[in-house]
Amino acid sequence: MQQQAVIDIADLGVSFERDGHRIVAFSGVSLKADAGRFVVLIGPSGCGKSTLLRAIADLLGCTEGKVRVFGDEPAQARKARRISFVFQDPTLLPWRTVTENVRLPIEVGNWRQLGRANRRAEELIGLVGLSGREAALPHELSGGQRQRVSIARALITQPDVLLMDEPFGALDEITRDRLNDELLRIWRETRTTIVFVTHSLSEAAFLGQSIVVMGTNPGRIVEQIDLDRRKPDNRIERTAADFFAITSELRAVLERDHGSVLRR
């Protein structure tokens, strides 16, 4: 029996009106993600990768096609708290301490679980490596630490799907590398399905189990590269040679697409 896809996107398109012009963010996008998979969306600015992520999270409506999360409408999955979102900007509430920020999703709506929330928040703060900073306010933390808090906050509802929109895009490369490592560790421990948007080739090659390459004019999927080696035990066994091969392939795909757009 075939396993039901966690995320099932068929022929999806999003367009909107701006100054009387119809702007197509992307169209004809089909994508499937199985449970526990790490999917990376990569592409140049304007390819609609962030918009696609927002469509999955029910942050915006779709003009054509369909999105299903666990076979339901995205709004259903959102209300059932099966989806969490990590923004590029950590979006911590500056008047709340680290612990209070992490337990915010429980305070909103799930107040019955509030008793366990503090203990759970503490565990997650440990998981993202911020033990001892529970009482700190966001302005006392570095950019990388703030993003760790926002990841802990996303995990507190124990989501089945974690959507990440260039979460490390504003960080320096050293911090970004370290957080990529930790994200893989967290992914292995929680077995959450992750859809991760980036415009960094090396980040995509390092993280992705499936790498979905998107192109512009109009936004669409150019190619999907599946790296199934990771699948059996969710372990990273990627050598330097593999890493190089994947980045080269990604670069070639993007170049080819860019060339074909220019020729058109």
Partner 1 sequence: MKVSLHWLWPLGGVASLLFLWWAVIVSFEVRPFIAPNPISVVKALWLNRTLLLSNLVPTAIEALSGFFLGNTIAVVLATVFIHSATLRRMYFPVAVIFNTIPIIALSPVLILVFGISIVSKIIIAAIICLFPTLVNMIRGFESVSVSELELMRVLSASRREVFLKLRLPRSMPFLFAALRIACTTSVIGAIVSEWIGTDIGIGVLIIQATFDYRTELLYAAIITSSALALAMFGTVALLEHLLIRWRTS
Provide CB contacts within 8 A for 19, sequence distance 6+: none
Binding of partner 1 by 136 (CB under 8 A): no
Which span sits near partner 1 by CB under 8 A: 34-42, 55-63, 211-219, 232-240?
55-63
152 counts as binding partner 1 under rule CB under 8 A: no
79 lines the binding site for partner 1 (CB under 8 A):
yes
The reply on whether position 10 binds partner 1 by CB under 8 A is no
Question: How distant is the alpha carbon of residue 92 from its chain centre?
Answer: 18
* Three-class DSSP category at 11: strand
Q: How many CA atoms lie within 13 A of 239 on its CB side?
A: 2
Q: How many helices (H) and strands (E) does the chain have?
A: 9, 9
Which strands make up the sheet holding 38-42, listed edge to edge?
A: 83-86, 161-165, 193-198, 38-42, 210-215, 220-226
User: Alpha-carbon distance 24 to 27, whole Å?
Assistant: 7
- Which is closer to partner 1, CB of 37 or CB of 153? 153
CB-based contact 195:164 (threshold 8 Å): yes
Exactly one of 85, 168, 187, 206 binds partner 1 (CB under 8 A); that residue is 85
Residue among 8, 34, 72, 89 that touches partner 1 (CB under 8 A): 89
**CB of 88 or CB of 202, closer to partner 1:** 88
78 near partner 1, rule: CB under 8 A: yes
Specify the stretch interacting with partner 1 by CB under 8 A; choose among 11-19, 21-29, 74-82, 174-182.
Answer: 74-82
Among 21, 22, 112, 139, the residue binding partner 1 under the rule CB under 8 A is 139
Task: Quote the least distance from Cβ 20 to partner 1, whole Å.
Answer: 23
Tell me which amino acid residue 141 is: L
**Residue ranges binding partner 1 (CB under 8 A):** 54, 57-59, 78-79, 81, 83-85, 87, 89, 91, 93-95, 104-105, 107-109, 137-139, 146
